[in-house]
Amino acid sequence: MTMMTPPPLEQQEDEEMLVPHQELTEGPQPMEVLSAETVSASENQQVEDPPTLKYRWTIENFSRLNTKKLYSDIFHVVGYKWRVLIFPKGNNVDHLSLYLDVADSATLPYGWSRYAQFSLAVVNQIHGKYTIRKDTQHQFNGRESDWGFTSFMSLSELYDPSRGYLVNDTFVIEAEVTVRKVVDYWSYDSKKETGYVGLKNQGATCYMNSLLQTLYHIPYFRKAVYHMPTTENDMPSGSIPLALQSLFYKLQYSDNSVATKELTKSFGWDTYDSFMQHDVQELNRVLCEKLEDKMKGTVVEGTIQHLFEGHHMNYIECINVDYKSTRKESFYDLQLDVKGCRDVYASFDKYVEVERLEGDNKYQAENHGLQDAKKGVLFIDFPPVLQLQLKRFEYDFMRDTMVKINDRYEFPLQLDLDKDNGKYLSPDADRRVRNLYTLHSVLVHSGGVHGGHYYAFIRPTLSHLWFKFDDEKVTKEDAKKALEEQYGGEEELPQTNPGLNNTTFKFTKYSNAYMLVYIRESDKEKIMCDVDEKDIAEHLRIRLKKEQEEKEHKKKEKAEAHLYTIIKVARNEDLMEQIGKEIFFDLVDHDKVRAFRIQKQLPFNHFKEEVFKEFGIPVQFQRFWLWAKRQNHTYRPNRPLTPQEETQSVGQLREVSNKTHNAELKLFLEVEIGPDLHFLPPPLKTKEEILLFFKLYDPEKEDLKFVGRLFVKSLGKPTEVFSKLIEMAEFPPNEEIDLYEEIKFEPTVMCEHIDKRISFKSSQLEDGDIICYQKSLTSTNRNQFRYPDVPSFLEYVRNRQVVFFRALEKPKEEDFSLELSKLFTYDDVVERVARQLGVDDPSKIRLSSHNCYSQQPKPQPIKYRGVDHLVDMLVHYNQTSDILYYEILDIPLPELQGLKTLKVAFHHAIKEEVVIHIIRLPKNSTVADVINDLKTKVELSRPDAEVRLLEVFYHKIYKIFPPGEKIENINDQYWTLRAEEIPEEEKSLGLHDRLIHVYHFTRDSNQNQMQVQNFGEPFFLVIKEGETLTDIKIRIQKKLQVPDDEFSKWKFAFISLGRPEYLQDSDIVSNRFQRRDIYGAWEQYLGLEHSDTAPKKAYTTNQNRHTFEKPVKIYN
């Protein structure tokens, strides 16, 4: 990012940096150089400081200069030649123009470039603090050999003697230049420069790459991954352990950046997942959970817990009576507040902050009633590897959106969690363990809440050396970049002219630390262990070395490619095999014929020996034809090689034949075989003869095949070769035939009838042309065939499309396929589908297109006659699919489109059942109409029972629909519509009664206590004033019919804004719920924590439609 300093008060506000005019019409002028001093780096930094030089240029008799521009003497910075360029009267502006120039740009080699950060200053010789200094940076090259400020300062200010810039007509300029090494992205070698390699980005996987690099550089973790049992029969794309072993092995031993596709395939991800940016913490949790599961029953079982698991104690302690409640919980990472905290220690202080339960919020202590109490969290133990997630993202209720917290937040190189006599530790903590941690890695997020880029700073050996892992690129960095520059906050731009009361300019730094990994000093030796080849399974070493050898072989071939020519030889056998099966147009697919890799200097006659060895055709019986690409983009054999050409080298011949400088030489091998199947010498070809290729079409079988080639006389007529064509087709001797010339097929088919009464030359036929022929048809028998002639068949082949149909309710299962034409109309397509499905009325077929990115049906089905042709149904943005989804409707689609269809899940009040009902009503109907229609279809507990309609999304109730609401805008594609009877107790709420939301939730053992995941069916519950949790539990157990042994394991929590506060049996629940409005009150609810053992129901959020946002999932 290039930052421009604000201009002085008298400068133009829209100051612009420009490259000056490049004509060097005037040479350097003599001047006095007072000093040129090199600034030596005094700090002992880990990464070598870039060379810097300060240069001072004093110009006398400045006002009398009579030149448009002026150059300083040349000064050197590590061998680079620089000079300052000044326009004393301005570069076509009324400001002084000042630039830094590459002094020897005219003599540097083509393609040169150098990168410099520099400042230019006009010195105030009276008051140094008013010196005007401006900083910038630039990559200098042949096109931009000077760079600087066209409007540096106003000329009126410069020439005003009272200002101090021109004293005794002397003018002083200072330049400070720092030359940095230009990192060419394409030629930069991470392994060579740093000893480490990066990971390739699949689209939006930088978040994953930064996490994987962090985990890889925890050697104990890497060793455990290597020791996970895998076999030589496993495939990386289907085995997470093997894919991770393979990835780590390549990171350890490869010289180039490593791909992650095998790993993401082992997760069960498709391309769409790889282009979805997710959360690092979420991926970390899910990946570690999967590895923990895969490690069970192996020699490395428990590694994840051993490395990352710590424990804290939640406690509530009464102040006035002797009562204390505690609960031990584990964590794999800790979420620390950033907002309102200056550093990590402040976050830990906030984490263990004691909350007072008093007044209306007193604690119901068992056997002691309501009591004043202290509530908090203390740590029992910390893990060897401490992962700290910094809460850079949070929900802003005022703006109703997620925001990123870019506040300054410091983190130390060494973190002492025993500080202040162990104030973070619980009484049960083992004080013999020294909780002193050293920083291992800093994961950074650069960007905003809706996206950005992730990378990591890591100390792989915990030495003073830091490295930046940014996808494919790894660079050495100094500690300041890894630490201070990732604190976030604001940065102040240097003032242009201090002393003139300039406004201070600040900008927010959007790159900041997002996750920190610390390693405990006492465990450092064990965690940072050696990992070498003996830790890697032999089958894995063999597999990966073989992969590497193949890669090296391909690399070698690529490097030597300029020495070789690829010769592709097509023969009659190839045409016979391909035409009518793999291809229909042209003669051959050159990618599927025999290819020879031949040295360019080899004489072509020697290559013919290679052909003899391969095909067994003696050299004297071989004749080769060159292929030519015609203007209509078809390929045809053009002419045979001359004897003289065959004496040339392969490389010369390729250049003669190939105007596009392609590395390939394409040839057709003509071989004549006699009746006794012996080879014959190639017939003499005269100028009057042309070589034609023939295809035969059978309209009955709809079959096209290659039958041979013939030399014909250019002035002869087609009738002269009819007998040979009839013999090749094995027709009866007197069969009438029709001939067509296949001309082209892109962008449309062109196949024209040949008049057999005129000569081949008159029909403009030449060497390599293709003639298709068939039996002549009468007007009567033409109607027997779908495609009676060659042009209609080729048109069909050009536009045919095999479409795979799937039932909409089973979008992952292929049902059947149909061969259709891209030109089919909407009616043609639904008619064929209806016929396939045995549906009498095609208008009852409704189709949906395929989303190529999500691999799901598009949410909106295709409207009746809403598209013109099949090709329009298959296009999704710039991609074409071959999948359509179908539904069989019970009424015709045109009629249905006039109605609003809602899918409503009815929950019976007494029976343990949920039934899905499809409600169809006119679009101007109301929710009351839906309920009335539903009542006619369902069994109610009582005839006078009242029914309500709810909106449920992700296992939470978001809305109770008012009866008068119009149904036209209700969306049931992403939200579940639930209907249920209104319980009698809700109809007669007392003055102090509360109607609250009750949701099921679970929390994985390695998830932070602040995060919950809802599941199951949410419901409402009436709670009364003074009612304890014990009373409410009895009613909930009865309502849900949960067995005692299972219900005893459930935990109950008041959850507000996703944060659970666990309740005790004696707690007065109504005290927690102060809101009476349940509409929009889903952020406060009574949470029932237990494991999700219920089978997934088919009616949950419409499964055949993709949801707005996909969570991170690893499927295998």
> What is the DSSP secondary-structure string of 187-209?
T--HHHHHS---B---SS-HHHH
- Rounded to a whole number of angstroms, the CA Rg of the chain reads 40
Q: Could you give the CA distance from residue 1039 to residue 1025 in angstroms, rounded to a whole number?
A: 20
590: three-class secondary structure by DSSP: helix
Q: Could you give the CA distance from residue 160 to residue 1086 in angstroms, rounded to a whole number?
A: 76
230, 239 contact by CB (below 8 A):
yes
767, amino acid identity = D
Q: Could you give the CA distance from residue 97 to residue 575 in angstroms, rounded to a whole number?
A: 72
796: three-class secondary structure by DSSP: helix
E strands present in 103-241 = 113-122, 132-141, 146-154, 171-180
1005, 330 contact by CB (below 8 A):
yes
E strands present in 366-450 = 369-371, 373-381, 385-391, 393-396, 401-404, 414-416, 436-448
Select from 742, 726, 615, 618 the least CA-distant residue to 682.
618
Structure tokens at 406: 């870019």
825: three-class secondary structure by DSSP: strand
E strands present in 615-688 = 623-629, 635-640, 664-670, 672-673, 679-680
H or E stretch at 348:
helix 344-351
Structure tokens at 662: 């392609």
190, 196 contact by CB (below 8 A):
yes
Structure tokens at 589: 């697919």
Q: Could you give the CA distance from residue 665 to residue 663 in angstroms, rounded to a whole number?
A: 7
Q: Could you give the CA distance from residue 1008 to residue 310 in angstroms, rounded to a whole number?
A: 11
Instruction: Please state, as a whole number, how many other Cβ atoms lie within 10 Å of the Cβ of residue 42.
Output: 7
Select from 495, 463, 493, 486 the least CA-distant residue to 476.
463
Q: pLDDT at position 46, please? A: 40
* Binned average pLDDT, 10 residues per bin, the chain of 1116 residues: 32 35 33 31 41 89 88 89 92 87 87 83 85 80 84 86 87 88 66 90 76 92 87 71 87 87 72 47 76 82 90 92 90 91 95 89 87 93 95 70 84 95 92 95 81 86 92 89 88 49 58 93 93 83 82 81 89 93 90 92 92 94 91 89 90 70 82 88 91 95 94 94 94 93 90 93 94 91 90 91 92 89 92 94 94 83 91 84 92 87 85 84 91 90 89 85 88 79 86 88 57 84 90 91 89 84 90 60 80 53 31 46
Q: pLDDT at position 388, please? A: 95
Q: Could you give the CA distance from residue 926 to residue 937 in angstroms, rounded to a whole number?
A: 18
Q: Could you give the CA distance from residue 405 to residue 37 in angstroms, rounded to a whole number?
A: 44
User: Which residues on adjacent β-strands are paired with residue 379?
Assistant: 312, 425
Q: pLDDT at position 203, please? A: 65
Q: pLDDT at position 732, please? A: 93
Q: pLDDT at position 589, please? A: 92
Q: pLDDT at position 548, please? A: 80
Q: Could you give the CA distance from residue 1049 to residue 1092 in angstroms, rounded to a whole number?
A: 13
Select from 668, 466, 483 the least CA-distant residue to 567.
668
Residue 201, CB half-sphere, CA atoms under 13 Å: how many?
A: 17
First vs last C-alpha separation in the chain: 42
Q: pLDDT at position 524, please? A: 93
Q: Could you give the CA distance from residue 978 to residue 907 in angstroms, rounded to a whole number?
A: 7
Residues designated as active site: 206, 453
Q: Could you give the CA distance from residue 86 to residue 71 in angstroms, rounded to a whole number?
A: 6
